[in-house]
Structure 1
Amino acid sequence: MSESAVSSKEKSYEDIAPVQVRDTEVGKMHDIVNSDDELLREIGYKQEFKREFTRLSTLSYAISIMGVLGSVPATYAVPLSAGGPATAVWTWFAGTFFSMSIALSIAELVSAYPTAGGMYFVTKYVVPERHVPLASWIVGWSNFLGQTAGVTSVGYSVGQMLLAACAMGSDYDETTGTFAYTPTAEHTVGVSVAILIIMGFICSFPTKWLHEFILWFAPVNVIASVAICIALLTLTPNLNPASEVFGTVTDGSNWNSKGFSFMIGFLSVAWTMTDYDATTHISEETKQAAIRGPVAITQAVIISGVVGWLLNVTFGFCAGDVTAILGSGLGNPVAQIFYNANGKKAALAMWFWAILIQFFTGCAAMLADTRMCYAFSRDHALPFSSTLKKMNPRTQTPLHSVWLVTLLCCLLCLIALGSVETINSIFGITAPALDCSYMAVVAMKLYYGKQLDIRKGPFTLGKWSRWVNYVALAWVSYVTVVLLFPTSRPVIAVNMNYAVVVGAAIAVFALVWWYAGARKVYVGPRVDHVEEEIK
């Protein structure tokens, strides 16, 4: 390894970053002239992607990974059934605040180490060298499998939403309150697999095409969300009173506690506000990634938080009889809210945008997952790593990684043919697996920070860093318990939350593979291979 590579850990970011940093003491700006490619090389990797993502497309990507117009309708049933409209409104409000603490904690770390590995790569620099292999292995697998489950869940929800549209367009029997078409498990899985394959094709595009495509994700998301809020509040004939929307919490979970029912409502915001480091996974395709990525992460939480809250408030006013819409034949309470507003045609028009945004979210999530797969294989952490890390000479993207992720997601989807409970449990592990993998890195940074010289990037929290980290750790510890808890009583096979079982299986899988042989070949992120390739 060269001297420069050895000393990269000790260098301050300002020695190599390609951005402007404000000198707060003199109030002047100074330029940092070295390029993104040089920073990446200093970290230990050669530049293989084309840097096409700009400030706007990076922000659009960060917003689309949350995709509130798709994600809120897809998860609204949980807070609504647990504690009513007020639960959905206030858990989203509080959850956004605490989610910002996670986003800030992540943004600060990845600003110093902007690579396709995201927080997985940062692990190398927040623990003593002797702990790097095992720590990186666990964080990497938690991140990769959590993202894969998340992509599958989004693809599956798009399938559900498309079939809800089919049901909405079928004949409605007012006597029985049912629609002529009712989606089956086979239909849902078939459509979901087709959606995932389409997402795979999109993620195979060259980076320039992806930049141009993703640039539109955020504007469509925000404009469509605001338009739908206005349309629903205007068209819905009988709005719920504000006292119910903002002040009435019910015990829909049957845990004999309105407080606990309220806590269960956090599932919606926790499932939506996750995958924060997804933006970092495209950092090797982003110009000025060390500042644009972290800024986009935090801006996306603010924008998504505001838009998501407006949607929850609007749905609360327009929900009508909560019991009735939860039992809707459309399979989704928000779809029923759209239908109740002004009938079939208006409902389909609004529902189309929700489906489109959820599809955008799936594309963004899959893109991050494929880049994580590439980064993981680049460090020889996956079988057939030498193949998976190869870049296609025409698209300059890792197509083998793209289609491995697509295949894994399609295989996961097939589980729903045998057990809906199992597939929901796999989806339920997405947020806990990702958030815990992030907070493990943050916790290691806090614990070992005084021993290690962890460099700072241009995005830093300064004296507030530790306090923000502590808030994020407390929030994730709390919400993880809630996410792994059964959402209603009595607890039976149908409503049991098997996510904890899935999470334990992931942990056992990673540790068994590690001790069975991975520890002999995996050394953590391989930051010395640039010099090897030059030789």
Structure 2
Amino acid sequence: MPQDATLSSPSTSLKGSEDLARPADNEGLTAVKHADDALLAKLGYQSVFKREFSLLETIAFAFSIMGVVASVSSTMSFPLVSGGHVGMVFGWLIPALFVMTVAASLAELTSAMPTSAGLYYFSAKLAPPRWAPLASWITGWANVMGQVTLVCSIDFTCAQMITTALNVGSDGAINLGAGPTFGILIAILFTHAMVCSAATAVLARLNIFYVIVNVGTTIAAIVALLVCSGDQRVSTETAFTMFENSTGWTNNGWAFLLAFTAPMWTLTGYDSAAHISEETAGAARAAPIAILVGVGATATLGWLLYIAASFAAASVPDLLASPLPLPMGQLFLDVLGKRGMLAIWSLIIVVQYITGAAQGVDASRVVFAFARDNALPGSRWWKKIHPYTATPVNAVWLVMALAGVCGLLGFSETALSSLAGASVIGLYISYVTPIFLRITTGRDKLQRGPFSLGRWYMPIGTIAVAWVSFITVLLVFPPEVHPTAQTMNYAIVIIMAVFIFASVWWVVSARKWFKGPVRTVEEGGFYGKERVDEKEVPVSDS
């Protein structure tokens, strides 16, 4: 095994990575898919999905789920309040660098164990045998919580974008409150449930469209802010060094740290590459590449967009005083005028809608995998694969229903910070648990895949664990001093509700029967047949 980070051909693959680009009926690609199914059987699972995602489509999926331009537009209020220009520029850059250590560590684990079970499977295999079920249980429930609240937070901000457009288009005559915004959220969740129930082939092809719209809109936004800001554009010194604390916290350093919420919320969901690995050709190579490229591209484009926004923001207090739900909408209105703002804002709404759809697919695969191991109430329903689409349709609708319940937080003033905090904390706890086990009890357990960090896994993993420990504490704090019932951070309420439920169920019942990931194939790795909705069908070659 090489000592440095490497990406070489997987031991199970019969052809090189060039096969991933060949047509679906190519003999080499068929061999790759058979090798993927063989590796999956070795990990303990039957192949029940069609491997329709190519390398490019897997990268597009991981990138689209972070929806950079829409995510920045959704969360710009955090750095504006917590540092102004400095909050926008450096409040993004610093967390992005640390997140790369988490992404690199997860890429290594995903390459070694490419399964939809993902994070909780990693924890089970890296923990001491006695504690493997508990480690898997904690990781799985944290990931499910994070996935569902991330769906809700994305679609909630999409609803806010729609209300912003209506407000601007009507010159302020239409100013929808929390109730209509919640109604729009429910409508978005319903349409996403239908989209996410589609066949894998449809979902895979849609991601190419997703990434074109995403990248194109981001570049258009950067150019528009820099070119059209004209005389209102601030100096380079102001854009990079002017600090304004509007949080109410007297300590400027602490106030600046709260700006980290924006990039941490944006740079989530990249574990999606692991969760669709059972639908990916050449998953041991494609999934880790998708994680690294997705995070790297999102971090870079997001930073450039925030720099452009910092130059274009003539007055941070004026942006914060805007009657629009999202300050980025006011910035575009100031820079581009009504028509220009509505034009680019419409594209950003499309990007956010696409992001929600991609996240819905990711969350449904997590729920399916966890239910496949009988770890959810009603698992027999949520692990069913629809015989026509070959996707977990029941799990999709469960995710959207739970996201709708979480959407009730939209009636509080801190809805976004609460939902963002809960999703980030849930997801990053599930990310860091297997990483922590990798650098402690699992140092000699990992059978490395084609992507390996080599000897660097230890320092990179240590930094990742330290960073997540810090950010988890930070994100439960309220966004401003002296919180009330309306302004408190409700992330802790969501987290504790799930934690208490999962803990009580574990103590009362689950510890007696939950043993971690359940093998669905014989120990010898037979994977020639699979069971779908109680019918035995042959594994597809395509």
TM-score, normalised to structure 2, is 0.89
Structure 1 position 322, deviation (Å): 1.1
Deviations 1:492-531 (A, max 9, x none): 3333223234323322221101112122232210025456
1:225-374 matched pairs, under 5 angstroms? 225-237=218-230, 238-374=232-368
Does the 8 Å contact 2:63/2:270 carry over to 1? no
CA distance in 1, matches of 2:151, 2:504: 25
1:125-204 matched pairs, under 5 angstroms? 125-171=125-171, 179-204=172-197
CA distance in 2, matches of 1:494, 1:414: 13
Local SS of the residue matching 1:329: coil
Deviations 1:51-107 (A, max 9, x none): 010111111111111111100010010111111022111121122111100100101
Does the 8 Å contact 1:152/1:427 carry over to 2? no
In the alignment, what sits opposite 1:503? 495
Structure 1 position 134, deviation (Å): 1.3
CA distance in 2, matches of 1:488, 1:387: 42
CA distance in 2, matches of 1:14, 1:222: 31
| Stretch of structure 1 that moved more, 419-428 or 356-365 | 419-428
CA distance in 2, matches of 1:495, 1:404: 29
In the alignment, what sits opposite 1:392? 386
In the alignment, what sits opposite 2:540? none
Q: Paired residue for 1:16, among 5, 12, 18?
A: 12
In the alignment, what sits opposite 1:120? 120
> Given residue 268 of structure 2, which amino acid in structure 1 is its aligned partner?
T
| Structure 1 position 488 matched with structure 2 position 480 | yes
| Structure 1 position 522 matched with structure 2 position 527 | no
Structure 1 position 420, deviation (Å): 4.4
| Stretch of structure 1 that moved more, 408-417 or 335-344 | 408-417
Deviations 1:379-410 (A, max 9, x none): 01112222221111110111111111111112
CA distance in 2, matches of 1:223, 1:391: 35
Does the 8 Å contact 1:106/1:276 carry over to 2? no
CA distance in 2, matches of 1:243, 1:261: 21
Structure 2: segments with no counterpart, 5+ residues: 1-8, 18-28, 531-542
Number of aligned residue pairs: 507
Structure 1 position 135, deviation (Å): 1.2
Structure 1 position 19, deviation (Å): 6.1
Q: Paired residue for 2:439, among 438, 442, 446?
A: 446
CA distance in 1, matches of 2:273, 2:477: 29
CA distance in 2, matches of 1:425, 1:267: 11
Does the 8 Å contact 2:189/2:400 carry over to 1? yes
| Structure 1 position 457 matched with structure 2 position 449 | yes
Structure 1: segments with no counterpart, 5+ residues: 1-12, 22-30, 172-178
Structure 1 position 132, deviation (Å): 1.6
Cα 1:234/1:388, change in 2 over 3 Å: same
In the alignment, what sits opposite 2:46? 46
| Structure 1 position 55 matched with structure 2 position 55 | yes
Does the 8 Å contact 1:46/1:530 carry over to 2? no
Does the 8 Å contact 1:413/1:423 carry over to 2? no
> Given residue 340 of structure 2, which amino acid in structure 1 is its aligned partner?
A
Does the 8 Å contact 2:261/2:421 carry over to 1? no
Structure 1 position 18, deviation (Å): 5.4
Q: Paired residue for 1:471, among 454, 463, 486?
A: 463
CA distance in 1, matches of 2:415, 2:324: 22
CA distance in 2, matches of 1:271, 1:410: 19
CA distance in 1, matches of 2:207, 2:123: 29
Structure 1 position 282, deviation (Å): 0.6
Give identity over the alignment, percent: 37
CA distance in 2, matches of 1:168, 1:260: 34
In the alignment, what sits opposite 2:3? none
> Given residue 225 of structure 1, which amino acid in structure 2 is its aligned partner?
T
Structure 1 position 439, deviation (Å): 0.7
Does the 8 Å contact 1:273/1:301 carry over to 2? yes
Cα 1:493/1:242, change in 2 over 3 Å: farther
> Given residue 168 of structure 1, which amino acid in structure 2 is its aligned partner?
V
Cα 1:263/1:423, change in 2 over 3 Å: closer
| Stretch of structure 1 that moved more, 404-413 or 136-145 | 404-413
Does the 8 Å contact 2:10/2:285 carry over to 1? no
1:417-428 matched pairs, under 5 angstroms? 417=411, 419-421=412-414, 424-428=417-421
In the alignment, what sits opposite 2:505? 513
Does the 8 Å contact 2:413/2:487 carry over to 1? no
> Given residue 336 of structure 1, which amino acid in structure 2 is its aligned partner?
Q
| Structure 1 position 401 matched with structure 2 position 395 | yes
CA distance in 2, matches of 1:415, 1:246: 35
Q: Paired residue for 2:377, among 366, 372, 383?
A: 383
Deviations 1:330-377 (A, max 9, x none): 211110011111321110001011111111111111111000111011
In the alignment, what sits opposite 2:5? none
| Stretch of structure 1 that moved more, 68-77 or 401-410 | 401-410
Local SS of the residue matching 1:454: coil
> Given residue 428 of structure 1, which amino acid in structure 2 is its aligned partner?
G
Structure 1 position 219, deviation (Å): 2.1
Cα 1:97/1:156, change in 2 over 3 Å: same
CA distance in 1, matches of 2:420, 2:478: 14
Deviations 1:455-504 (A, max 9, x none): 11111000111111011111111222221222222333333223234323
CA distance in 2, matches of 1:407, 1:474: 34
Deviations 1:17-55 (A, max 9, x none): 45649xxxxxxxxx9976111111111111111101011
Cα 1:158/1:19, change in 2 over 3 Å: farther
TM-score, normalised to structure 1, is 0.90
